[in-house]
Amino acid sequence: MNQTERRLIAFIAAAHALTHITELSYAVLLTRIQDDFGTRDVIMGALATVFGWTFGSSAIPAGFLTDRLGSRRVLVYAFAGSSVMAVLVGLSPNAWVLAATLAGLGLTIGLYHPAGLSAVAQGVSQRGIGLGFHGVAGNLGQALAPAIALGLAIAVDWRAGFFCIAGLSALLAIILSRAHLPVHGDSEVLSAEAVAEPPAQEEAATITNRLLTPLLLTYGAFVVGGIVYRGVITYLPKHLEEMVSQDFGGVFVTVALVMGAVGQLLGGWLSQGMRLERIAPVIAAAAVPALILTAMLSGALLVIASSAFVFFYFANQPVFTGLIADYTPPGAVGRSYGVSFFAGFGIGSLGGVIAGALVDTWDTEAAFWGLSVFMALVVGLSFALWALAERRRRDVNLATAVGSAP
């Protein structure tokens, strides 16, 4: 990587970290907010779904804006807006107002992913490594969220955590407004000529729509994986508080999320030298038993099992985000990431209410058993992607052999 690429990754990594600090803060503070407002578990899960739905829904317009305006400008809008909404979340007097303000916070911070991922996927020559570092920053942000939010909640009040997020978001918006983040040569947007001329090796696949089915399967994996993600990220803190330590559950969440950062690095490194469709089902299959053990165990073994699940789950993120770029034509990468993150964070936000209903009816163990079923579906979709890739490879080899025959 050259200096320009390293600088790009540094800015995007900071933005990604703050995005996930913002995203996870509600889950970390869920128990304290619930005690303050006196609401049921299913209502708290529904609030997580409201945030998740808006967080994912704004990804689609963000994708169109990214392709048109460039990543940097969209990031400025994202963090300027989230600074205002985080203040309003902290001022919410009841659950109804909190639902509205969390929705606004989700809409603004949800602009991030299409812009950030598009910048890394198109602006860094070693894409797998770049996506790995991008993912690490997100996991470190999630790992910092419990320390920041719980520390301020203990020292002051749960509302102080959102006021802190507002200040950090405003600062980052100002910094990005003065930065230059070229992702296409020296330009922040893709030229019309580049859009009009797709790479030669993709022309045949584009004409015959050979990549449409795997792209749709990848979107499907984002939906089902998003259900798992939202359920786990919302109720893992509560699960660890109940099954490990009431006072230090948040600390153990941080341990698990640090393992997610290690997983991101491994996934990014593997995706540099191996076919993505071959990696995805193997990693997804490894995550299923770890999630089942998270439902079954308690104490120190639960911390180990949940950390293993987070490791494998996030190891697949650079793989699937790389597949989106592989299956999408030039000039539409931002939009495609918008659709994928609407699928994962928007539709996938149903995981919050699904897990909340299971907790309300039974307990947190039941929620993780239920989420294990959805993780198994991700494995099935990953194997389908692998099978399609192998068939495409055989067809290409056959066509090459026929074309070279005398």
Domain boundaries 3-185+204-392, corresponding CATH code: 1.20.1250.20
**pLDDT at position 46:** 84
Q: List pLDDT tens digits, range 314-323.
A: 999 999 999 9
Angle at 176 between CA 107 and CA 158, to 5 degrees: 50
Q: List pLDDT tens digits, range 342-398.
A: 998 888 888 988 998 999 899 999 999 999 999 999 999 999 999 999 988 887 777
Question: What average pLDDT score do residues 213-242 get?
Answer: 92
In whole angstroms, give the CA distance from residue 89 to residue 103.
Answer: 9
DSSP secondary structure letters along 13-32: HHHHHHHHHHHHHHHHTHHH
Angle at 119 between CA 83 and CA 80, to 5 degrees: 10
DSSP 187: B
SS3 278: helix
pLDDT at 207 over 50: no
Average pLDDT of the residues of the chain: 87
CB atoms within 10 A of CB 178: 8
Percent of the chain topping pLDDT 90: 52
Nearest CA to 227 among 324, 112, 372?
A: 372
In whole angstroms, give the CA distance from residue 69 to residue 221.
Answer: 28
Q: List pLDDT tens digits, range 37-75.
A: 988 877 888 888 888 888 888 988 999 998 888 889 999
Q: List pLDDT tens digits, range 133-151.
A: 998 998 888 888 877 887 8
In whole angstroms, give the CA distance from residue 402 to residue 90.
Answer: 66
What is the pTM (predicted TM-score) of this model?
A: 0.80
Structure tokens at 58: 């704004």
Nearest CA to 128 among 384, 281, 315?
A: 315
In whole angstroms, give the CA distance from residue 257 to residue 276.
Answer: 23
Most confident of 173-182, 238-247, 331-340, 369-378: 369-378
